Amino acid sequence: MRRARYWVLLTAVAAIGAAQDADQSPVPAEPNFSGTLDIGNRWLSDVRGDFNAWRSVVNLGEGPRLLNLDFHLGPPQGLEGRWLFDSLNFRSNAWGGDPYNTSFLDISRTGAYRLTVDYRNIAYFNFLPSFANPQIDQGIRLNQRSFDTHRRLYDVQLDLMPGRRVTPFFGYTRDSGFGTGVTVFVADINEYPVSNRLWDHTNNYRGGVRMETKRYHLILEQGGTTFKDDQEILDGGRNPGNRTAPFLGQRLFLDDVLQAYGIRGSSIYSKGILTGNPTNWLDMNLQFLYSQPQTDTSYFQENRGRFVALNNLLFFDGERSSVLAAAKQPHSAGSVGFELRPARRVRILQSWSTNRFHNATRALLADQILLATPLSQETVAFDRLVVNHNEQRLVAIFDPMRWLSLRAGHRYIWGDARVRASAVQPEGLEGGQLRRNVALAGITFRAGRKLTLNTDGEIADGDRTYFRTSLQDYKKLVTRARYQASQAWNFNFRHSILANQNPTRSIEYQFRHWEHAASVYWTPGASKRASVLAEYSRTAIISNLTILAPGMLNRELSYYRDFGHTGTVLADVKLGGGPLAPMITAGGTYFVSSGSRPTRFYQPVGRAAFPVHKMLHATAEWRWYGFAEPFYAYEGFRAHQFTVGLRMLR
Amino acid sequence: MSWLPRLPGLTLPPQGRHPAPPSPVPGTVAASLFLAATFFVPLAPAQEYAGTEMCAACHEEIFTKFQKSAHKRIERKTEWTDQACETCHGPGAEHAASGDIALIKNPSKLDAGAGDRSCLACHQNQPSPAGRIRNGHAHSQVSCAECHTVHGTREELVDRRPVSVNKQCATCHMDAWVQFQRPHTHRLAQGAMSCTGCHNPHGTAAPSNLNLVAANEPGCLKCHGDKRGPFTFEHAPVRLEGCQSCHEPHGSANPRMLTRHEVRFQCLECHSNIGASAGVLGGVAPAFHDTRNPRFRNCTVCHVKIHGSHINRALLR
């Protein structure tokens, strides 16, 4: 693995070096090449505190790294059209062992092809003790679901004859996840933490054609996906589970368990998008999107130990289960819209959209309790989910003056859904409706290029909503302002507020979210020798909702509070004049919140860049991570991170 | 035939016929003119062009930067050779002769939408998830030049490195960027992702310019394919209101980007209908779980397949 890291670094250095050599060769015209290469080594101090929390939040490691590589390559002047490509752009980030690696390639030849390749590898580690154990500090320790997995994404797209009237295109995307984790095996009144293996992938194949004329543009795309999910649990050894007290005098435990999921899925989909501007005063668009995903499931489970079936108070030592299931979900969506410009300064935007899907499923569940005479039971289950969602929007934009835009409109959202009912009526369906009228208004004010002020507001009146916490009667206001006081001073300001309520007596939901944010960017003089960026944001979330507490079924109030302060300061100072003057950066980011889950997260940073040559800089960075949660003090961590590297520019 | 119009999505206006502003047409007349206008493009009177050399004489700094820009291609082998500046700024002979800034078009100083139309004269056929680029960001309230460096210092008109993209978006969307400073968030700060991984600033068919995958599925499923389903037993909010009904994708102080600090509150706020009058989905509460017992404080300890299950109606496996 270590050798592979050095190999990646050497390859990257060689790529830049080769381009520089090409520059020195006697070829009369040099290729159009520009790029940046950052390589370095990262060290980490001992992570003080909870290492699992560190990995869940930051998760950066040590060792040599290709921190960044990006370059553009094109044919020399005069040789355009004679190379296999006219433009090649490549970007790569965090290679050599970092948990987040990305690469992107965009290569094209005018009128012939364009190929893009995107690769991402993102580690997902999540093991926060407090997540399942809010009372761990009282010695109450339970199992939880945790993950140590990776998600990898490959995305390839090839366009042929781009820019011509007819452009065929083909694409392939593969998204896969793999790794291990901890999950829970639930057996009636006890639950057992067990290790599991996760492995899933989705392949997406697509092809289509874009057709364009001066006024119309049509995209027709046909695609399909295949899906495979093979999760597995294979765990052995005496496991007492979360319930440590005997049940009716008997101790319950798990000795071994096998769970094997075999989920296969596929989907076909079709997409058609027509846009056009049949006249200079009308733009129109029409979309039709259809997909029909389906899955087939086979599942097998065998567990041994000591268990109890609550419905007949039967104690037993083993159980086998198998499930065969299938699900289909035809899904169609469409929209029609236009932008009409009846006068020079007036625009009217109208759109209708609909989104419908219908999930129909069936499952055959077979259970066998392993007694002297095995007890078998087979159940057939059906499930449905039917959703119709519609939206109509009308907005008028009026620009009475060059420096002023006014917007006003209306949005109506309506729909209905039928979903599986609660556990008390397991085979039933319950229905919900959505009806919401929203008034929209906005204003944009521009005073030259110095000041821009933008405000948008919404007032909604809903009389039907799907869920207790959904938007119903709400008011929303977002204001943004930008002011360039001088060449050196730039100010940004943002204020937003969202107040939502559902006054239904048994819900009494009150939700309020507001935020003030301001930033200032100071670049004195034109010398670019110093700059300061400062940002500050204050946010608040206040939520009150009446709930029915399980157990005693009494009414309680669910409170949630989050008052956050976030700040960033970054100051750049160039020590001296000239292109080889060192540059120092100092600052950092902090997040401090109070309320339901008080949190402190500090990330101070210091950087230095020492140009050795106009194309070679030595760099150094120090960063400190400090994370603390007063209610969950055991979960905090602190760590220093140092990175030293070289940056090559061209 | 020149090669430039074959660039992806580019349809340059013919020389001497600079794109005219949209003609205001009264609504009543509009219908009758619809058919005719489809086949007729009004011609603006031809004006004199000055040529790039003339522009460079005064605007040397811009000219120097322009040599590294992708727009420099306009200068090569097209009928616009030596007139690249005037593809956007319009014929400039009169401006060059008099120096009067009123006689030259500056797209960055035009009113809302007009500046974008200057860009879209060539770029409107550029493909986007919504078909093609129809107008600037937020219906031309944010012009193309806010994000794209038209004269450019790079080959690309916008720096597409994830860190740069995030910085660009954050200048206006401070609220979103602030949330990414919270501890539990997608990996934007590490450069593994950028805002454009989930949103397309040129518009999509979904609200908030969210990307879609496989025609009409939420963009989240591009990376989280295991949550796609369809599941034998669905969890309705995932389908009806999307991931945001429980998660705050821009970042949260709560583990797993949840919108509540403990899982039981997340669940009980919906699974808590009191009486039939509420008229909302969610059913009654899971009545026999005593949440005073630590075992029942985190619903997902047992209901592990909370996004939907292929096996179990209660989402237990």
Dump pLDDT digits (tens) for A564-585. Answer: 999 999 999 999 888 889 999 9
Whole-number pLDDT of residue A44: 93
| Contact: B178, A70; criterion CB under 8 Å | no
A359, A367, A605, best to mutate vs chain B, most B CBs in 10 Å: A359
Domain that holds residue B289: 229-309
Which of A111, A122, A242 is the closest to B187 by Cβ? A122
Structure tokens at A356: 């419908």
Whole-number pLDDT of residue B43: 43
Residues B112/A399, Cβ–Cβ less than 8 Å: yes
| Contact: B6, A68; criterion CB under 8 Å | no
Q: Is residue B32 part of a domain?
A: no
Fill in the amino acid letter for B138.
A
| Contact: B281, A274; criterion CB under 8 Å | no
Gyration radius of chain B over CA positions: 27
Phi, psi angles (nearest 5°) of residue A337: -155, 160
Report CA torsion sign: B151, B153, B156, B159. negative
| Contact: B9, A480; criterion CB under 8 Å | no
Q: Is residue B59 part of a domain?
A: yes
Min Cα distance B50 → chain A (Å) is 24
Phi, psi angles (nearest 5°) of residue A363: -145, 140
| Contact: A162, B268; criterion CB under 8 Å | no
Helix extents (H) in A310-403 = none
| Contact: A403, B288; criterion CB under 8 Å | no
A65, A136, A204, A385, best to mutate vs chain B, most B CBs in 10 Å: A385
β-bridge mates for residue A263, sequence order? A229, A297
Which of A223, A417, A568 is the closest to B240 by Cβ? A417
CA distance B13 to B16: 8
- Minimum Cα–Cα distance from A393: chain B residue: B207
| Contact: B272, A547; criterion CB under 8 Å | yes
CA distance A95 to A8: 8
Local structure of residue A189 (DSSP, 8 states): T
Phi, psi angles (nearest 5°) of residue A485: -70, -35
Cα–Cα–Cα angle for A73, A76, A82, nearest 5°?
95
DSSP helix/strand/coil, B29: helix
Strands (E), A188-313: 190-212, 216-229, 232-239, 253-279, 282-291, 294-309
Q: Considering only CB atoms, which chain B residues are within 8 Å of A558?
A: 265, 268-269
Q: Give how many domains chain B has, as a whole number.
A: 2
β-bridge mates for residue A266, sequence order? A226, A294
Min Cα distance A1 → chain B (Å) is 21
Q: Considering only CB atoms, which chain B residues are within 8 Å of A421?
A: 283
DSSP helix/strand/coil, A89: strand
CA distance A120 to B104: 46
Q: Considering only CB atoms, which chain A residues are within 8 Å of B302?
A: 184, 186, 191
CA distance B221 to B199: 13
Q: What is the pLDDT of residues B10-66, one digit of tens each?
A: 545 444 444 444 444 444 444 444 444 433 444 445 578 888 888 988 998 888 888
Domain ranges of chain A: 1-108+611-650, 141-328
CA distance A273 to A284: 11
Min Cα distance A346 → chain B (Å) is 9
Residue A141 zone, left/alpha/beta (φ > 0; ψ -120 to 50; rest): beta
Which of A466, A564, A601 is the closest to B281 by Cβ? A466
CA distance A625 to A617: 26
Residues B211/B244, Cβ–Cβ less than 8 Å: no
Q: Considering only CB atoms, which chain B residues are within 8 Å of A480?
A: 172
Percent of chain B whose predicted confidence (pLDDT) is above 90: 19
Q: Is residue B220 part of a domain?
A: no
Q: Considering only CB atoms, which chain A residues are within 8 Å of B21?
A: 344
Q: Is residue B75 part of a domain?
A: yes
Q: Which residues of chain A have pLDDT under 70?
A: 1-29, 132-144, 421-427, 526-527
Which of B255, B291, B304 is the closest to A130 by Cβ? B255
Whole-number pLDDT of residue B19: 45
Q: Is residue B246 part of a domain?
A: yes
CA distance B159 to A36: 13
Which of A57, A267, A349 is the closest to B183 by Cβ? A57
CA distance A293 to A226: 9
Helix extents (H) in A447-538 = none
Q: Considering only CB atoms, which chain B residues are within 8 Å of A222?
A: none
Report CA torsion sign: A525, A526, A529, A530. positive
Residue after which a domain boundary falls, among B112, B137, B157 = B157
DSSP helix/strand/coil, B193: coil
Q: Considering only CB atoms, which chain A residues are within 8 Å of B289?
A: 550-551
CA distance A615 to A600: 40
Min Cα distance B110 → chain A (Å) is 7
DSSP helix/strand/coil, A469: coil
β-bridge mates for residue A208, sequence order? A169, A221
| Contact: A551, B287; criterion CB under 8 Å | yes
Cα–Cα–Cα angle for A39, A42, A47, nearest 5°?
160
CA distance A603 to B266: 29
Residue A286 zone, left/alpha/beta (φ > 0; ψ -120 to 50; rest): beta
Q: Which residues of chain B have pLDDT under 50?
A: 1-9, 11, 13-44
Q: Considering only CB atoms, which chain A residues are within 8 Å of B132?
A: 212, 217, 275
Report CA torsion sign: A162, A167, A172, A173. positive
Residue after which a domain boundary falls, among B137, B157, B177 = B157
The kind and range of the H/E element at A365 are strand A346-369
| Contact: B33, A279; criterion CB under 8 Å | yes
* Lookup result for tokens 């400190």: A624
| Contact: A279, B223; criterion CB under 8 Å | no
User: Which of A69, A100, A71 is CA-nearest to residue A645?
Assistant: A69
Q: Considering only CB atoms, which chain A residues are within 8 Å of B224?
A: 151
Answer yes or no: do B269 and B142 share one domain: no
The kind and range of the H/E element at A106 are strand A100-109
CA distance A445 to A399: 10
Q: Is residue B178 part of a domain?
A: no
Min Cα distance B113 → chain A (Å) is 10
Answer yes or no: do B7 and B133 share one domain: yes
| Contact: A465, B280; criterion CB under 8 Å | yes
Q: Is residue B34 part of a domain?
A: no
How many pairs of residues across A and B have Cβ atoms under 8 Å apart?
A: 482
Q: Is residue B316 part of a domain?
A: no
Torsion of CA A484, A487, A488, A492, to 10 degrees: 20
| Contact: B239, A215; criterion CB under 8 Å | no
Cα–Cα–Cα angle for B308, A196, B311, nearest 5°?
30
Which of A202, A383, A535 is the closest to B232 by Cβ? A383
Fill in the amino acid letter for A256.
D
CA distance A316 to A307: 5
Residue after which a domain boundary falls, among B98, B127, B157 = B157
Structure tokens at A279: 């006249």
CA distance B317 to B310: 8
Cβ count within 10 A of residue A24: 8
* Lookup result for tokens 């290790």: A195
